[in-house]
């Protein structure tokens, strides 16, 4: 069955009808060479709350650097991290171009002069050790199963699938082949420039082109593929330009507080645009029978979305945890706190240790309310 985690809804039918119309002989037929599908990443392919995962990675690295070299606290973004600047952290959550630009520029400086394998090793260690604070599993376990099925469905109909994100291209490329089934060259995004020096490829302290946000998305897609997308999917206001250039636009609506998150922040304009232009809006709650791609979904499907550590706390305490950042920053945003990195009200030490769910705890999860 095609798209097995998609319920038989208007959204699923619209996707299937469009793909069939452009791949069968007829007036709407599109040659395979022009079947480009472009997807946003954060919030479209995996969880972006309480902050986009790459920001979690960068804040951990820079918090450690600031502890080792206190003079860095006079420079951005170290200054904002040390001072827990609410405006800075809010900008990260909403993917404000200025905030993202400051991070990407700083990232280019932090790894300038290093070879790609140095950065990749750090990202892999983060991916293998850091746990998402609410669900207690690796961020890479929180990829959306229905979107992976959509990748496969499109590829089976001779679409070439690309991911284009305002986040770091090289960050995404580390795990693209393993969790998305896409080659590295199909990942487009904000990136550093490279130089060939003394027989090695090394990162520079310059960005390659502009940010892949807003108008930068179709610009990056065209520069990379020589075409604009036929099919595009996103979830936020920064995806509007990419979605507008596509013949078929899919907008993910985060309306499932039980299995994921429910929010419209930084998406209100795109939702209004979808209604005006007739884009297909996917309701996580109504259109998807499953959310995540990993074994985590085996118990999340039954309403067991809280971490084991949270299950013993009172409902009032859990509510406060969801709505309070713990002081010094807006709700649910990663920030530095001594030797820890805090995401919302949940803490991990700077080594990456966090809330882990061993197999014994997964078994205990079945005792939680709503679990089988």
Among residues 287, 311, 334, the one where a domain terminates is 287
DSSP 280-328: EEEEHHHHBS--BSSTTHHHHTTT--S-HHHHTS-HHHHHHHHH--SSS
- Domain of 30 in residue numbering reads as 10-48+142-287
Among residues 287, 322, 342, the one where a domain terminates is 287
Whether 80 is covered by a domain: the verdict is yes
Whether 21 is covered by a domain: the verdict is yes
Among residues 252, 267, 287, the one where a domain terminates is 287
123 plus 163 within the same structural domain: no
Q: Please report, in angstroms and rounded to a whole number, the separation of the first and last CA atoms in the chain.
A: 26
Mapped onto helix, strand or coil, the DSSP state of residue 165 is strand
Whether 3 is covered by a domain: the verdict is no
Spatial separation of the C-alpha atoms in residues 30 and 36, rounded to whole Å: 10
Among residues 351, 293, 357, 338, the alpha carbon closest in space to that of 129 is found at 351
Distance of CA 132 to the CA centre of its chain: 12
pLDDT at 104: 73
235 plus 149 within the same structural domain: yes
C-alpha torsion sign, points 356, 359, 361, 362: positive
90 plus 193 within the same structural domain: no
* Under 8 Å between Cβ of 40 and 52: no
Mapped onto helix, strand or coil, the DSSP state of residue 266 is coil
pLDDT at 105: 75
253 plus 235 within the same structural domain: yes
225 plus 161 within the same structural domain: yes
Q: What is the DSSP letter of 72?
A: G
Residues β-bridged to residue 131: 138
280 plus 157 within the same structural domain: yes
Q: What is the mean pLDDT of each run of 10 residues along the chain (372 residues)?
A: 94 98 98 98 96 92 90 86 85 76 79 95 96 96 98 98 94 96 96 94 90 92 98 97 98 98 96 98 98 67 40 36 36 44 42 35 33 34
State the pairing for strand pair 200-207/192-197.
antiparallel
Whether 36 is covered by a domain: the verdict is yes
pLDDT at 349: 41
pLDDT at 87: 84
Whether 279 is covered by a domain: the verdict is yes
CATH of the domain at 204: 3.40.50.1000
Spatial separation of the C-alpha atoms in residues 259 and 296, rounded to whole Å: 11
Token look-up 């995404």 returns: 172
Distances (CA, A) of 90 to 44, 47, 49, 82, 195: 20, 17, 12, 15, 34
38 plus 147 within the same structural domain: yes
Tokens (6 digits) for 68: 């080792």
* Under 8 Å between Cβ of 230 and 22: yes
302 plus 343 within the same structural domain: yes
149 plus 236 within the same structural domain: yes
pLDDT at 295: 56
Distances (CA, A) of 82 to 54, 57, 218, 332: 18, 16, 35, 17
Task: Count Cβ neighbours within 10 Å for each residue of 180-196 and write b for 16 or more, e otherwise.
Answer: bebeeebbbbbbbebee
Spatial separation of the C-alpha atoms in residues 287 and 6, rounded to whole Å: 6
pLDDT at 166: 86
Number of domains forming the structure of the chain? 2
151 plus 247 within the same structural domain: yes
Whether 2 is covered by a domain: the verdict is no
156 plus 39 within the same structural domain: yes
Whether 155 is covered by a domain: the verdict is yes
171 plus 265 within the same structural domain: yes
Whether 264 is covered by a domain: the verdict is yes
pLDDT at 84: 87
pLDDT at 274: 98
């Amino acid at each position: 069955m095609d798209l097995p985690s998609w319920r038989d809804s208007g959204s699923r039918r619209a996707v299937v009808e469009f793909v069939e119309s452009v791949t069968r002989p007829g007036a709407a037929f599109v040659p395979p060479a022009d079947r480009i599908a472009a997807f946003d990443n954060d919030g479209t392919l995996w969880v972006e709350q309480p902050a986009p995962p790459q920001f979690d990675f960068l804040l951990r690295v820079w918090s450690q650097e600031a502890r080792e070299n206190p003079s860095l606290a006079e420079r951005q973004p170290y200054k904002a991290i040390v001072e827990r600047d609410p405006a800075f952290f809010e900008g990260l959550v909403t993917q404000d171009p200025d905030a993202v630009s400051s991070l990407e520029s700083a990232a280019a400086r932090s790894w300038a002069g290093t070879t790609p394998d140095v950065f990749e090793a750090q990202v892999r260690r983060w991916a293998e050790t850091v746990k998402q604070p609410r669900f207690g599993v690796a961020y890479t376990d929180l990829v959306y199963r229905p979107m992976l099925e959509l990748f496969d469905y499109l590829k089976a109909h001779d679409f070439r699938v690309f991911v284009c994100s305002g986040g770091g291209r090289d960050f995404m490329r580390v795990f693209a082949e393993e969790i998305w089934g896409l080659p590295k060259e199909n990942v487009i995004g904000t990136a550093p420039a490279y130089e060939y020096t003394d027989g090695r490829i090394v990162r520079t302290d310059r960005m390659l082109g502009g940010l892949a946000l807003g108008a930068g998305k179709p610009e990056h897609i065209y520069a990379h593929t020589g075409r604009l997308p036929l099919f595009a999917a996103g979830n936020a206001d920064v995806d509007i330009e990419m979605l507008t250039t596509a013949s078929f636009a899919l907008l993910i609506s985060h309306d499932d507080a039980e299995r994921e998150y429910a929010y419209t922040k930084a998406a209100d304009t795109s939702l209004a645009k979808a209604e005006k232009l007739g884009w297909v809006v996917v309701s996580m709650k109504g259109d998807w029978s499953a959310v995540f791609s990993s074994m985590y979904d085996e118990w999340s499907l039954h309403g067991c979305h809280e971490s084991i550590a949270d299950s013993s706390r009172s409902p009032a305490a859990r509510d406060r945890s969801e709505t309070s950042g713990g002081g010094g920053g807006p709700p649910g945003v990663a920030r530095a706190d001594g030797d820890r990195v805090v995401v919302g009200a949940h803490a991990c030490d700077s080594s990456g240790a966090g809330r882990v769910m061993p197999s014994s705890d997964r078994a205990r999860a079945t005792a939680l309310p709503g679990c089988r």
